[in-house]
Chain A
Amino acid sequence: MSSQTLLLGAAFPSPALALAPSRSRSRRLRIRAQVEPSDKSVEIMRKFSEQYARKSGTYFCMDKGVTAVVIKGLAEHKDSIGAPLCPCRHYDDKAAEVGQGFWNCPCVPMRERKECHCMLFLTPENDFAGKEQAITLEEIKEATSKL
């Protein structure tokens, strides 16, 4: 939240601040394109992913980094637009997509056909499926801190 307000503050620099240091400071702040999701949202999406993998009989990727990035992406969407839209897709109108819910995780292709192109939920036959249906918060933080 605080980084969001900093970004907003940087977008409208006060005309009185003509000094070079403050302008370079605001330029640096604007480079941040994404806000970090809250720990609470990451935890919610982590629990959801574990539960849904068990329920659907699917497994996480053998590379847990993939799982971590997707869970974080879901949490980011949940925080920014109110619903965990699939983070691996591009949307022209996010509000319309949220309202309709096709891409709200678990998306329709996953619910009906067990097709998850994010590679979050993999059927056992999939070459990349690991053997686990669990991931800890530490694993997520470690995998995504390297980005």
Chain B
Amino acid sequence: MYNAVRRADEVHRKVAVTSDVLSSSEAAAAAAKIGRWIRVKAPLRVYYVAKAPDLDLGGMEGTIKQYLGVWKGKRTSANLPFKVEFLIRIDGQDSPVKFFSHFREDEFEYVPSSDGPN
């Protein structure tokens, strides 16, 4: 029984080593997306933006600020790994309101850089 427990530990440790650490090409691919300009494809209502309590993100454009599938070289299980920054103008606010939202890759499309911000 003691040997079985030990063997299970070793197997678990071996699995952890191979899946945790990202290959350098994966990490590079993720890093290359940061800064890209994107547009949200489908309607998505959010309620957490302080100055805009009921907001539809569908069709809005923003920049990818962070990729959360990696943390210090380790793979994480975040299912909305793309953190996108939005800047919106709201009536009654002097400066644009900035907020972040997280998305899956299939929820947005890349916008050619020639379009630029509206």
Contacts and interface: CB of A to CB of B under 8 A. Distances in A.
Interface residues of B, number: 22
B46 A93 contact: no
Interface in B1-34: 1-2, 5, 16, 19-20
Interface residues of A, number: 21
Interface stretch (B70-78, B89-97, B108-116): B70-78
A111 B80 contact: no
B22 to A, nearest CB: 11
A90 to B, nearest CB: 8
Contacts of A13: 2
B76 A109 contact: no
Given A11-B5, A114-B47, A93 B68 contact: no
A25 B41 CA distance: 60
B8 to A, nearest CB: 11
Contacts, number: 56
B42 interface: no
Given A93-B20, A97-B77, A113-B46, 4 more contacts: A11-B5, A100-B76, A102-B77, A108-B102
Interface of B: 1-2, 5, 16, 19-20, 44, 46-48, 68, 71-72, 74-80, 101-102
29 contacts: A11-B5, A27-B1, A89-B77, A90-B77, A91-B77, A92-B20, A92-B77, A93-B75, A93-B76, A96-B20, A96-B71, A96-B72, A96-B74, A96-B75, A96-B76, A97-B71, A97-B76, A99-B71, A100-B71, A100-B78, A102-B68, A103-B77, A108-B78, A108-B102, A112-B48, A112-B101, A112-B102, A113-B46, A114-B47
